[in-house]
Structures are given as C-alpha cells and as structure tokens.
C-alpha cells in the first residue's frame, strides 16, 4: 500500500504526517471553481481588475474538516500583490469569522491554521488589490492532525524539480518549464535525482501530464536505461513506473517521445512514491479507483436487445410459454466474441451488458401468465444455464482486455399498459416488498463473479422510475405533480442503491473493492443548455451516493438522448451539449465527488439525421474533457445483429456515427493509426525486453496481429 500525498510542480520533499496523508484539494480545471473577477486555466489564475476576484475549492461532504490542522496553498509563481486565503460556508452563505490569512507580494506558501470548531465547505483564494495579477498554483491541500504518538510513517513522497532538465538528454526536444516540445520522434530528456535521493527508497515513479502524443517513462544512469520502461498513448495523462532492484543505481528519470515530431507534453509533476511503514493498516486495495476506471473506459457500446429481452407483460409471457431463446427473441442474433473483438480493434474500450433477470429467477407461469403480485421471495436462485451464458458474454469482453459493465436492466422500467413486469420500482411500497429479493439477486450475481478482476463493474439498476412510469423526473406522469411523492421516489432509488452496494460488498473477495455504479432516478440526465422545468434537476440533486466501506470505488450513471428539432444547427448542438456537461460537472462530479458514466446515448431523437455525427462528436469530445465515459446504445452494426456470419458495420449513417465517435475521442487520425518508424515483424518478438500494447499495458508475447511497443519502438505484428 502506498501513500499519495500532494502533487507538486515545485521541487520539494513532502513532510511525512503521522499515519495520515494530506488531503489533495487538486489544481486541475475540474477541481478549481471560478468565484468572480478571475479566470482559471490549470494551473494559472488570472485575476481581473476587480479587488474581489477569487477562485475556490469545494470540500466534499465525506471530508471532516476538524480532522485537519492547516490548509495550505503553494504557488509556483510568486504573487505581485497581496492575496487572501479564507474559509466559507454555503449553509449561511458567509465567510467564517477570523478564518482568513493575508500574505504580501512575493510569498509562495500560504497556510491557514484551522480551528476544530470551524465547519466550512469552501476554500477561497482572493486577490486583495484589484491589480489584475496572475499566479500559478503548485499544490493545494489540507494537512491532517498529528496523532499523540508523534510517530511518522516512513519515507515521504518526493517530487522532482521541474524547473530544469538533466544533463544526459538526448537530442530532439526543447524544454520550457513545464512544457517539452519534441522535434524528433524519439527525442528524450531527463530529470536528475538530487544527491542523497535513491530510487531504492521508493516503490514507484508517478508522472502526471497533459500530452498530444505517446510517451515512455524509464529510469536511467548516464546514457543507459535501467530495467523496464512504461509507455502511454495520447489518451493517457499519467504514467506509473514500478521501481525494481535494477533501477537502484539510477541518477535520472527519463521522458521519451514515442510518437510524431512536433508533439508537446505539459508536465504536472514527477513524484517518487514512498512505501508505507509497517505500522500502517495492511489492508490491500489493488483495484484502480472508480475515477481511474471511468476515465480509462473512454468510449463504449451497449450489447442491447439481447440478454435483456423479456415478455414485457405479466398477461402474455410469450417467451417463457414458447421456450424461445431470450437472446434472439427481439430479433437480434446471439452475441459473438468476434463482434466484441471487432469493437476493440476499432477503438472502443467498454461494453455494457444489459441483463433482465426476473424470467430466470424461478417465476411460475400459468396459461401464459405470471402473477407478479404474489412473487416476492426473500431469496432467489438464478437459472444455472442462464447465468452460464451471461458469464460467457462477460468473458468475451474481459478476454479482449476491455471494461465490462453488468447490470440489472428491465427488472426496472416505466410501468404502463404495455410493460408491467418491473419490480425494482422507485416507490416506497415496491421497495418494502422487494428489497430482500433485490439484495438476494445481487448477492448471487456478485458471488458468481467474485473472482473477476477490476475490468468488470456492476451497475445496480437501469432506469428505475416511479409507479406512474414518470420519465425525466419523478411524479411527472401523475395527473398532478406532487413534490412529496417525488421525494419518496428519490428516497426509494437511494435505498435500492444502498442495498446494492451492501449486498455486493458482503460477498467479499474482489467484490470488496470492485467499482460499482448507481444511476439517478430513471437514469435521467437533467436539462441541457436550457431547462423547460426546474424539476429536471432533481434526479441529479436528489441522488445520494451510498455509504461504502470501500474508498473511491463508486461511480454514477445517467443516460442521454438529446433532442434536436428540424432546423437545428451544429452550433445548437454544441451549446445544448455544453449545457448537459456543465450540469453533470456541477451536480455530479463536484457535488457528489464521484466520476460519471453516460451509460446510454445515441442520436435517435435528432430530426435531421445528417446532424447525428455532430451530436456524437460534441458529446464524446466534451465528455472526454471531463473524464466522463460515453457508451453508445447500439446503432453501428449491420442491423445491429453482429453475429458470426454478419460481422460488418451498418449502413453509411452507422459508419459515419462510428467514425465520428472514434475521431472525437482519438483525434482526426483515428485509432491505431500506423505511423512512420513502425517495423513489420511476422514472428513473435525475440528479445527479452517487455512488450506493451498501445494503451501502455504490459502483455505476454503477442499472439494476435496488431501494433505493439518494445524497447521504445513500435512493431506491427502480422501473426505467424
């Protein structure tokens, strides 16, 4: 287990704190909020002529501020005029009395000692003079209280100085702190380790950056590479190099370009990560956080209208009565591994598998009917054949090294005259009746997949709506809107969400740290650029993130099917989607402090189909900027069948949609573009150097054709 303290742009050793890490407030654009009279572009604040210009950090509700003794802001560039650091509480919309400190020009560290009686949820950094100055942030963090023993937890993290590069640099680059510009496809520069700093005292090197190109990170001595290297494609913003014995004599950390000429990388930090001491809790959390997973999911696809097929009506259970194959009952073909591989090769990195479970839970069908009202078992048993097929489909995805989301789908839904089988309903009566059944179902699912790794995520429920079948927000389908009934519906959603998390965690094993997903009411996404009802915000604001024994392993999900009437323009699309993203950022990413997945979206509500690629491009690119994963609902395969005999993309509109998604995420050159400098090989690699795929993940010797990286070079492996 490692400690992750502050991420700094300045060169400094971080002080070790007794058995607790500093809380990193963050300095990325998504962390820092604009107050007034200022603009922010990470890591720089530009104050305007207003003497009240300010930016601020939100404190998540999960943080107890009395556990910390100071708040500290560090600046990479000194202010030219006075700055004020102060605390604020939104409950009274006022500053805390005496909770402020003012520093003069030239000061680069601002610290405010906290009083344990203070309760605050915002930290402001304000310009006091209206001079129009600019400052550059280095770090922002809360320092925890010391424990009584005064012991410290081993070696602290150490961040290298970014103000100058090392002395053994290769050619083909220029450096202007913190930006490297590569003029050569293999240019590289080094950052020297200071005298007395040994890599053997640390467990890893962590580099954070923004980049337009592929990078490689390694440790070196003089001109020699020591040990292995790690690589990242342009979609990555961090690299972690595990320190081995072979690197113990290294005197520098190297960053090398592995892509095209003229590429740039802007460094955020290069930190050596220290090992915990023996007295620390040795509980191991090896899964990546939900934030990391959602970012790495990138773009994805829904395997829809297959495993979620169901009969829809209690009075006409036509699939069960005829012993039909559920997976093909709605006209699709059985899902194949070849189709999933086709998605992977195209650049998609996530597949969501919607599954409807109730027909496979031992329900009784009589004369083609199911009496749901008499069905509320405290425990259920999933049909073994059905579960085996679900696992087979999940394996298609996992075997392709993709993220897989497995859910409970049409067990939820909008109750109506054409659909009345839902039993996971946003209603107090339904919750009381079916809570135990729901927990039993998730206990069985979680147990079946207990040993699966971090690429498998569980989604508790799909689009859970009230007993009136209200879309967009609770009680909207009632004859008269009732805020009281709506509140009860939101409460039911939150109760089911907590049951889901509790049931999965109780199964132990990898499920104790598996990333879990909870949806808003109806998976409603809120309004876009303009709201036609204030109630549209409620599914976002009323979602309560469950209490979880695991840390940073929960994510939220919404679905988005944006509507554009005939005559809409590309500008209209950009503005509307920017409205969606702004609300998701405010009400989910910031207010709930969890990452977000757009679990379903497509252009089915766009009147002018020629505008659909624009919708795709804007949604995917704007979401990528906020590390929000986007998963298309079907629409790109030939008839969406995708069976072994029909592995082809759809018509020209479907291909245009697919291409728009890929380019919006990976750039105009698309995914896996073969560039100059790639060597062709037809046999497995012969040297012992490690092999990586284009996502920077180490792999065994290649067995399937594709582009791989070894020894800092790209190879096109064409198979045996």
So what's the pLDDT on residue 148?
Answer: 31
Closest CA to 560 of 490, 615, 501: 615
Q: Is 322 exposed, middle or buried (0-12, 13-18, 19+ CB in 10 A)?
A: exposed
Statement: residue 153 has pLDDT above 50: no
So what's the pLDDT on residue 269?
Answer: 79
So what's the pLDDT on residue 608?
Answer: 94
So what's the pLDDT on residue 2?
Answer: 30
So what's the pLDDT on residue 19?
Answer: 31
| Mean pLDDT value of segment 687-707 | 68
So what's the pLDDT on residue 684?
Answer: 52
- Both tokens of 682, joined, read 């037809």
Average predicted confidence (pLDDT) for the chain: 85
Please write the tens of the pLDDT for every residue from 376-430. Answer: 999 999 999 999 999 999 999 999 999 999 999 999 999 999 999 999 999 999 9
So what's the pLDDT on residue 263?
Answer: 81
pLDDT-derived band at 13, boundaries 50, 70, 90: very low
In the three-class reduction of DSSP (H, G, I as helix; E, B as strand; rest coil), residue 372 is classed as helix
Q: Which of 60-64, 111-115, 422-426 has the highest mean pLDDT?
A: 422-426
pLDDT-derived band at 681, boundaries 50, 70, 90: low
- Both tokens of 154, joined, read 């081993």
Statement: residue 604 has pLDDT above 80: yes
> For residues 278-314, b (16+ Cβ closer than 10 Å) or e, as one string?
eeeeeeeeebbbbbbbbbbbbbbbbbbbbbbbbbbbb
pLDDT-derived band at 128, boundaries 50, 70, 90: confident
The H or E element spanning position 392 is helix 384-399
So what's the pLDDT on residue 281?
Answer: 40
CA distance 150 to 333: 65
**Region for 634 from its dihedrals, namely left if φ exceeds 0, alpha if ψ lies in -120 to 50, beta otherwise:** left
- Both tokens of 54, joined, read 């300010």
Residues 6+ apart with CB under 8 A from 195: none
Closest CA to 12 of 105, 127, 141, 113: 141
Statement: residue 10 has pLDDT above 70: no
- Both tokens of 294, joined, read 């959602």
DSSP string across 627-683: T-EEEEES-SBGGGT--TT---B-SHHHHHHHHHHHHHHH-TT-SS---TTPEEESS
So what's the pLDDT on residue 704?
Answer: 65
So what's the pLDDT on residue 279?
Answer: 39
**711 or 682, which is more confident:** 711
* Predicted TM-score (pTM) of this structure: 0.59
CA distance 49 to 55: 14
**649 or 618, which is more confident:** 618
Mean pLDDT is lowest, of 146-160, 313-327, 400-414, 454-468, for: 146-160
Q: Is 534 exposed, middle or buried (0-12, 13-18, 19+ CB in 10 A)?
A: exposed
pLDDT-derived band at 28, boundaries 50, 70, 90: confident
Cβ atoms 123, 59 nearer than 8 A: yes
So what's the pLDDT on residue 20?
Answer: 44
Cβ atoms 432, 485 nearer than 8 A: no
Statement: residue 54 has pLDDT above 80: yes
Statement: residue 201 has pLDDT above 80: yes
CA dihedral 679, 681, 684, 685 (to 10 degrees): -30
So what's the pLDDT on residue 509?
Answer: 92
| Mean pLDDT value of segment 201-222 | 81
Please write the tens of the pLDDT for every residue from 236-291. Answer: 667 888 888 888 889 899 888 887 777 888 787 788 887 644 433 434 678 999 99
CA distance 508 to 513: 9
- Strands of 288-402 (E only): list them: 299-302, 350-353, 365-366, 369-370
Please write the tens of the pLDDT for every residue from 567-583. Answer: 999 999 999 999 999 99
pLDDT-derived band at 195, boundaries 50, 70, 90: confident
The H or E element spanning position 292 is helix 290-297
Residues 6+ apart with CB under 8 A from 322: none
Share of the chain above pLDDT 70, in %: 86
**128 or 491, which is more confident:** 491
Closest CA to 226 of 205, 204, 248, 241: 248
So what's the pLDDT on residue 18?
Answer: 27
So what's the pLDDT on residue 678?
Answer: 54
So what's the pLDDT on residue 697?
Answer: 67
| Mean pLDDT value of segment 525-540 | 95
Closest CA to 556 of 588, 579, 528: 588
Please write the tens of the pLDDT for every residue from 652-661. Answer: 899 999 999 9
């Amino acid at each position: 287990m490692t400690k992750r303290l502050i991420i700094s742009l300045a060169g400094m050793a971080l002080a070790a704190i007794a058995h607790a890490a500093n809380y990193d407030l963050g300095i990325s654009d998504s962390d820092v909020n604009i107050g007034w009279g200022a603009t922010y572009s990470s890591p720089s604040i530009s104050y305007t002529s207003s003497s009240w210009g300010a930016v601020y950090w939100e404190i998540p509700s999960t943080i107890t501020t009395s556990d910390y003794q100071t708040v500290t802001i560090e600046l990479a560039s000194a202010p030219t005029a006075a700055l004020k650091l102060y605390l604020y509480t939104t409950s009274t919309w006022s500053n805390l009395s005496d909770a402020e400190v003012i520093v003069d020009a030239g000061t680069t560290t601002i610290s405010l000692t906290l009083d344990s009686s203070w309760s605050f949820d915002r930290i402001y950094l304000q310009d006091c003079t209206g001079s129009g100055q600019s400052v550059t942030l280095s770090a922002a963090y809360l320092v925890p209280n010391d424990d009584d023993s005064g012991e410290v937890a081993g070696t602290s993290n150490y961040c290298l100085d970014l103000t100058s590069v090392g002395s053994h640099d290769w050619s083909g680059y220029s450096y202007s702190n913190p930006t490297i510009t590569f003029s050569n496809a293999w240019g590289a520069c080094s950052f020297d380790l200071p005298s007395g700093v040994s890599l053997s005292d640390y467990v890893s090197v962590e580099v954070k950056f923004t980049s337009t190109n592929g990078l490689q990170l390694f440790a070196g001595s003089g001109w020699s590479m020591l040990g292995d290297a790690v690589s990242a494609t342009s979609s990555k913003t961090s690299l972690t190099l595990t320190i081995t014995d072979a690197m113990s004599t290294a005197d520098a950390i190297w960053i090398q370009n592995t892509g095209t000429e003229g590429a740039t990388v802007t460094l955020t930090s290069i930190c050596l990560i220290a090992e915990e001491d023996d007295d620390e809790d040795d509980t191991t959390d090896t899964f990546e956080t939900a934030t990391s997973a959602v970012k790495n999911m990138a773009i994805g696809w829904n395997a829809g209208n297959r495993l979620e097929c169901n009969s829809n009506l209690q009075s006409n259970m036509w699939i069960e009565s005829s012993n039909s194959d559920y997976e093909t009952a709605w006209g699709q073909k059985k899902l194949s591994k070849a189709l999933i591989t086709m998605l992977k090769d195209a650049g998609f990195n996530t597949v969501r598998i919607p599954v409807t479970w109730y027909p496979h839970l031992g329900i009784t069908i009589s004369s083609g009917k199911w009496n749901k009202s008499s069905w509320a078992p405290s425990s259920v048993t999933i049909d073994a054949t059905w579960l085996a097929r679900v696992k087979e489909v999940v394996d298609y995805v996992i075997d392709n090294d993709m993220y897989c989301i497995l859910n409970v789908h049409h067990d939820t839904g909008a109750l109506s005259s054409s659909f009345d089988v839902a039993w996971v309903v946003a209603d107090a009566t339904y919750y009381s009746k079916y809570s135990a059944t729901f927990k039993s179902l998730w206990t069985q699912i979680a147990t079946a997949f207990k040993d699966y790794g971090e690429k498998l995520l569980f989604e508790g429920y799909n689009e859970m709506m009230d007993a009136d079948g209200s879309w967009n927000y609770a009680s909207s389908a009632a004859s008269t809107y009732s805020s009281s009934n709506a509140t009860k519906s939101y409460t039911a959603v939150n109760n089911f969400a907590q049951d889901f998390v509790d049931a999965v965690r109780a199964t132990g094993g990898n499920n104790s740290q598996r990333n879990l997903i909870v949806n808003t009411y109806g998976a409603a996404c809120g309004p876009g650029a303009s709201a036609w009802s204030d109630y549209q915000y409620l599914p976002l604001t009323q979602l309560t993130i469950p209490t979880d024994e695991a840390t940073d392993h929960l994510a939220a999900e919404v679905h988005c099917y944006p509507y554009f009437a005939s005559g809409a323009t590309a500008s209209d699309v950009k503005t509307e989607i920017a409205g969606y993203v702004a609300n998701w950022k405010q009400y989910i990413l910031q207010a709930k402090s969890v990452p977000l997945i757009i679990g379903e979206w497509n252009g089915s509500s766009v009147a002018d189909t020629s505008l659909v690629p624009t919708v795709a491009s804007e949604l995917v690119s704007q979401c990528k900027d906020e590390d929000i994963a986007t998963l298309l609902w079907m629409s790109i395969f030939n008839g969406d069948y995708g069976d072994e005999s029909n592995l082809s993309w759809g018509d020209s509109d479907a291909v245009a949609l697919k291409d728009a998604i890929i380019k919006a995420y990976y750039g105009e050159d698309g995914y896996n573009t073969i560039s100059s400098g790639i060597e062709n090989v037809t046999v497995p690699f012969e040297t012992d150097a490690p092999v990586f795929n284009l996502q920077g993940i180490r792999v065994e010797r290649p067995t399937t054709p594709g582009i791989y990286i070894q020894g800092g070079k790209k190879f096109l492996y064409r198979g045996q």
